[in-house]
């Protein structure tokens, strides 16, 4: 838990760290160069700090050092400018001693049994612990259960003989990223910071304040960890609610998108959430189950959270049933039908495939005998995934191509799609995103 310092002046290590930050001499080490780590590296570089990036993917390291972006919505020119300005990516974790601030941004997925998988965090700590030195700050940004920073990370640091809050600083500051959203960036999204001690929090606040416009301090690392889970659980539960409302509205022959548009005109007490084919991304489908797992330690069953998760997980099956019914109404069997999936990234205008419900829809269709292919301007080749496999490349949805399929199913509403052409030349459009609002004989809303 949080320990409050009683000294009137900062400890020498605190003062030294603050001075290095003030002079822009504090080198920032970012572990995990993905959708969180790269924007963070860009921002620290932008405000004048030297950055050393760490990753285990040799191809990603080579791309970044060559000034090439591995992520669609991050321009290569920004990576090139950072590389030319002194940024370096490496897989040599022994170099962790070269940095003052260590920021961990590695994945925290779920296991096959839907339990927290902290293996990336643990392996990262094993790799860097022998090379830690006095005076460093370590901040975990990966989403996890309350207590991870103190129960999992702290023992590594204590084992080196450091005194946390005196000669080493431990912080939890959850990542907040919305890939592809031009309205928010790393510097404009408020940053929650919790420390193992008051001095740790002070150090964390100072470091992040040079890169982020607003800092939100909380009393402990546990409070910061739970803050992140609450944010994502709030979204997951409300998406589960609106997905269930979509099914109800469909049974009543009511357009759920019309209902949402009407409801959101209320200037208070309502926030619009939109249904889809399921739930995707690296946070929303996963993070609620971190709290569900941890709550069991306290004898608490998270009924509400688990119900929302169940609804969201079932949406791909509901979508496939709608496709089968639509084909059946046209005297076609799902088995043997040619179906084009439009959009397989988890959200609009990104190339991120993690937990994408589109893949589950494609698998369910394939399992039922459909011939499934896809079109996604952001995913030219179906990527290697831990639990899913398709040997496919993206197909250009030209009029001739669209006419050759029995159905096109809109799963991710990318801006680059020509929706007028899709509507005009598809034999059947199954719309899971509410893109086609007008009634049309060849459009089925799912």
Catalytic site positions: 283
Contact criterion met (CB below 8 Å) for 428 and 407? yes
Q: Are 389 and 411 in contact (CB under 8 A)?
A: no
Rounded Cα–Cα distance for residues 136 and 170 (Å): 9
d(CA 422, CA 386): 32
Distance CA 257, CA 273 (A): 10
Residue of 74, 56, 76 lying closest to 66 (CA atoms): 76
The helix/strand/coil state of 340 is: strand
- Would you say 281 and 35 are in contact if contact means Cβ atoms under 8 Å apart? no
Which structure tokens are listed for 413? 């509403």
Find, among 214, 207, 216, the residue nearest to 102 by Cα.
Answer: 207
Euclidean distance between CA atoms 269 and 285, whole angstroms? 25
| Token pair 């996890």: residue | 144
Q: Which residues contact 261 (CB under 8 A, 6 or more apart)?
A: none
Length of the chain: 446
DSSP 118: -
Angle at Cα 380 formed by Cα 377 and Cα 386, nearest 5°? 120
Instruction: Show the CA angle centred on residue 308, arms to residues 305 and 314, nearest 5°.
Output: 140
Residue at token pair 């791909």: 316
Tracing tokens 């605190």 back to the chain, one arrives at 14
Nearest to 154 by CA among 163, 146, 141, 145: 163
Spatial contact of 74 and 60, defined as CB atoms under 8 Å apart: no
Give the number of C-alpha atoms closer than 13 A to the C-alpha of residue 3, restricted to the C-beta side: 14
List, in sequence order, every residue forming a beta bridge with 359; answer none if it has no partner. none
């Amino acid at each position: 838990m949080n320990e409050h310092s009683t000294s009137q002046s900062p400890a020498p290590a605190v003062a030294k760290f603050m001075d290095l930050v003030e002079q822009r001499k504090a080198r920032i080490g970012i572990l995990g160069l993905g959708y969180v780590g790269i924007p963070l590296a860009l921002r620290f570089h932008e405000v004048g700090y030297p950055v050393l990036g760490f990753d285990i993917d040799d191809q990603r390291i080579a791309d970044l050092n060559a000034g090439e972006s591995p992520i669609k919505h991050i321009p290569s020119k920004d990576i090139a400018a950072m590389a030319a300005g002194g940024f370096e990516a490496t897989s040599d974790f022994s170099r962790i001693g070269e940095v003052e601030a260590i920021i961990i941004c590695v994945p925290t997925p779920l296991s096959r049994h839907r339990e927290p998988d902290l293996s990336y965090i643990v392996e990262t700590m094993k790799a860097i612990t022998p090379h830690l030195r006095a005076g460093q700050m370590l901040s975990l940004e990966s989403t996890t259960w309350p207590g991870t920073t103190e129960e999992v990370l702290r023992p590594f640091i204590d084992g080196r003989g450091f005194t946390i809050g005196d000669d080493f600083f431990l912080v939890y500051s959850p990542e907040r990223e919305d890939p592809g959203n031009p309205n928010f960036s790393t510097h404009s999204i408020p940053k929650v910071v919790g420390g193992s001690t008051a001095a740790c929090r002070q150090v964390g606040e100072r470091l992040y304040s040079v890169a982020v416009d607003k800092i939100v301090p909380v009393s402990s690392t546990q409070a910061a960890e739970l803050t992140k889970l609450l944010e994502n659980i709030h979204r997951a539960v409300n998406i589960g609610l609106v997905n269930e409302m979509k099914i109800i509205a469909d049974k009543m022959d009511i357009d759920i998108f019309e209902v949402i548009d009407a409801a959101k005109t209320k200037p208070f007490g309502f926030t619009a959430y939109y249904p889809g084919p399921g739930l995707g991304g690296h946070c929303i489908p996963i993070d609620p189950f971190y709290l569900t797992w941890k709550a069991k330690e306290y004898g608490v069953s998270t009924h509400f959270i688990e119900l929302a998760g169940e609804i969201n997980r079932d949406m791909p099956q509901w979508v496939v049933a709608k496709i089968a019914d639509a084909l059946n109404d046209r005297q076609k069997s799902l088995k043997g039908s040619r179906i084009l999936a439009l959009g397989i990234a988890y959200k609009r205008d990104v190339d991120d495939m993690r937990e994408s419900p589109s893949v589950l829809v494609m698998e369910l269709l394939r399992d039922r005998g459909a011939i499934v292919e896809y079109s996604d301007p952001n995913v030219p080749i179906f990527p290697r995934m831990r639990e899913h496999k398709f040997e496919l490349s993206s197909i250009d949805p030209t009029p001739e191509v669209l006419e050759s399929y029995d159905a096109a199913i809109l799963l991710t509403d990318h801006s680059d799609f020509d929706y007028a052409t899709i509507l005009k030349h598809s034999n059947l459009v199954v719309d899971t995103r509410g893109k086609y609002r007008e009634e049309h004989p060849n459009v089925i809303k799912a």
